[in-house]
A and B are shown apart, each in its own frame.
Chain A
Amino acid sequence: MTHLTPSRDGRLTRRAFVGAATALVAAPARTANRPFRFGLTPVFPDDERELLDHLEEYIAGAIDSEVEFVQRRTYKEITALLMLGDLDAAWLCGYPFLQYAAALEVLALPLWRGASRYRAYVIGAAGRDIGGLDALRGDIHAYSDPDSNSGYLVTVSELVDRGERPEEFFARSFFTFGHSNVVQAVARGLADSGSVDGYVWEVLAARRPELTARTRILWRSDWFGFPPIVTRRQRPAHGATETLAAALRAMPRDPLGRRTLKLLHLDGFAPAQGADFSGIAARMRMLGEREE
């Protein structure tokens, strides 16, 4: 396995370059005509066509392979496809990653506002008073996805931690299977409140301020490990998987990469070593203990 490790001044070292070149030469033999399949979940703000085009062009150029983005309605479907080996890599939430931690490994960690961490928001309609989570009792609540940390796990575990029964705390709840859908549901009044990824809400606030302006953040969670780019521990079929991690980390030094990162509102990608999903694991335990 060869890693493209950027030097401190941001340029590729000679060794790294040679390694990468070797990998690039070796890759076509193993991948044959099969495109690199990259799974995307709603953690990723995919509502801009230009972003997908840039990301595809960048990755395809970096790993010298055709790239195919695979999107499904739920996290579960993407996880299942990844476990099946149908996907070579996926941008997954920390919660499903931890659920399959034994079989999956982190390739890279997105850096947002200088760190690989984010928070969960609970949002309400723009005119609503901020009264903490307790004030949400009796709401119609919109979750993002049952496998989403920020869009489900955080809120539910927080309520459990407060001695509440989430299924009774809210008058009614439903899943929208997308963080931006949660924002829409709250903005339109379909739901009184919603659980949403803080990163996605902030990106939306920059891109579609008229939408987020109709909502307000009622509660912010602790910091959690940012949704990682993962792959199977068991070597994936596509040889370029190894190269992908290095290519992602090298994005800030490439003009196309920089444009892509700007659209993603990210600073770059960090190596897997810094991964810290302990907060999520704690929330999972909290929920598991309640179920027991």
Chain B
Amino acid sequence: MIRAPAIPLTLRVPLIVAVLMVAVGVMASQLVMAALATSHERQLRELARTQFTTLSHALAPMAVREDVWGMFDLLDRSVARGAGLSAARLTLVGADGRVAVSSDPRAAPIGSGGTELRAGAQPLDGFDYDGDAERITLRSPLEHRGRALGALVIDFDARGLAAERRAAWRWLVLGNAAATLTLAGAGFVVVRRLLRPVAKLAAQMQPQAGPPEPFAPERIPERDPELARLYHSYNQMLHAEQERVDAQLRLAERERLAGLGRLAGSLAHEINNPLGGLLNATDTIRRYPDRPEVVHSSAELLDRGLRHLRDVVRATLDAHRGGRARSPLSTADLDDLRLLVEPELAQRGQSLDWRVTARDGDLAALPGGPLRQIGLNLLLNASAVAGEGGAVGLEVSADDDALCLCVSDTGPGLDEALRPRLLDAAPVAEGGGVGLRLVGELTRELGGEVALDSTAAGWNRVRIHLPLARRGEDAA
């Protein structure tokens, strides 16, 4: 079944108001017409009764005297030629059933049969009136001092009355229609105006290009408490959402700084370790300048130590300044990762199982920066959970379609509460695990997937699968 598109509330309510007003108008018209019909019928009865009573008083003495002209003159003058209810023809049917006189002698000549005429008329007391009838014939007995003189039969022309009624009906309908339409239109406009703030609110809540904007204070309809509350609630909702986003950003920053701090500590340790040996080498050179083999071996030691320091510094800079973020991934990046995490592992007396089978040709299909962040975060996490003397593993392999970056550890496994941070794209509650979320987001941005499983040795493992977008060149 096809459903018609829903009419918006701001149009539906005014339309309902208009329809209700039209219904009320129609009902009012019906009531007035019914009242008018009753009034007309009463008017007809009263007019007829008055006509009969007046005429009978004047006619009876003439009928007794058989004053034909007098009666004719009276009846003829009673033929009204006006609006409303008028007598069109008046006929006196004598007691003998013959026409005594008629205001229309050609139609009812004196002495002609009047029985049929009398029978065709309704009695004055208790006649039926059809509102649309143009003519109504009534009769009433004529008496004079107890003597029956026959019956007065009057044909009333109700056309005027019917026309009056039709005219009233027409004007009523026209007037009511105009009033109803005006009211309905006004109702429509007024209600639509009343609902305009709701329409504004709905428009404001529609998905927009930018972030949702709160209502400016001057746009809040303070005069309408309910609507104002609605507007304020909307603004508060936006405010709360903004605060939530801000809090998350602050938290992420804090965690980044915390990581940096840890890394800085490791670095300091890493730099400090060879410093003793290096200073010892310079001291040896100074003490034995005349022994070339000793100077040479000390210089070699110094060179290695300084190179190591240079590598450590470069790797740190690359990881945190993003200098190589846009460069393709290479095995050098993986070597940097190792260099960065090894001091952390060494501090905890942890062993590292490092297996990189993927070659530069495979790795180049992926950006270096995000992969370094993913690897570093996972390795640091693994180290954190593996505990003292634990083990951490990294395996980077590639097939035709995808690169697999797996980080494993001998820790107790990823906490259930933290898993959604890594696996789901949906917003999560505030708290720790910012690194995990970063991993998840970066993976999804690269079109990859995250999965959790265990290695054959029973280590807990995080598997990152990243599709390789090869640019027409096959892996070597």
Contacts and interface: CB of A to CB of B under 8 A. Distances in A.
B35 interface: no
Contacts of B68: 174, 190
Interface residues of A, number: 13
Interface in B56-114: 66-69, 72-73, 76, 101, 105-106, 109-111
A172 B110 contact: yes
A172 B110 CA distance: 9
A208 interface: no
Instruction: Give me the 4 closest cross-chain CB pairs, A-B, nearest first.
Output: A174-B68, A176-B69, A189-B106, A190-B105
Contacts of A175: 69
Interface of B: 66-69, 72-73, 76, 101, 105-106, 109-111
B70 to A, nearest CB: 8
7 contacts: A172-B110, A172-B111, A174-B66, A175-B69, A177-B69, A188-B76, A189-B105
Nearest to A177: B69
A140 B73 CA distance: 17
Contact of B111 (A171, A176, A177, A185): A171
A209 B285 CA distance: 165
A174 B110 CA distance: 11
Given A140-B109, A174-B66, A174-B69, 5 more contacts: A172-B111, A175-B69, A181-B73, A188-B106, A189-B105
A142 interface: yes
Given A188-B105, A189-B105, A190-B105, A140 B110 contact: yes
A171 B111 CA distance: 9
A185 B101 CA distance: 12
Interface centre among B66, B72, B76, B106 (most CB of A within 10 A): B72
Contacts of A142: 69
Nearest to A125: B106
A171 B101 CA distance: 15
A189 B108 CA distance: 10
Interface string A133-177: 000000010100000000000000000000000000001101111
Contact of B69 (A171, A181, A189): A181
B96 to A, nearest CB: 13
Nearest to B106: A189
Contact of B109 (A174, A181, A189): A189
Contacts of B76: 188
A140 B69 contact: no
Contacts of B67: 174
Contact of B110 (A176, A181, A190): A190
Contacts of B110: 140, 172, 190
Contacts of A140: 109-111
A177 B111 CA distance: 21
Contacts of A188: 72, 76, 105-106
Contacts of A171: 111
Contacts of B73: 181
Interface centre among A140, A174, A188 (most CB of B within 10 A): A174
A205 B73 CA distance: 21
A190 B68 CA distance: 9
A188 B111 CA distance: 16
Contacts of B109: 140, 189
A233 B69 CA distance: 35
B315 to A, nearest CB: 133
A138 to B, nearest CB: 11
A269 B413 CA distance: 153
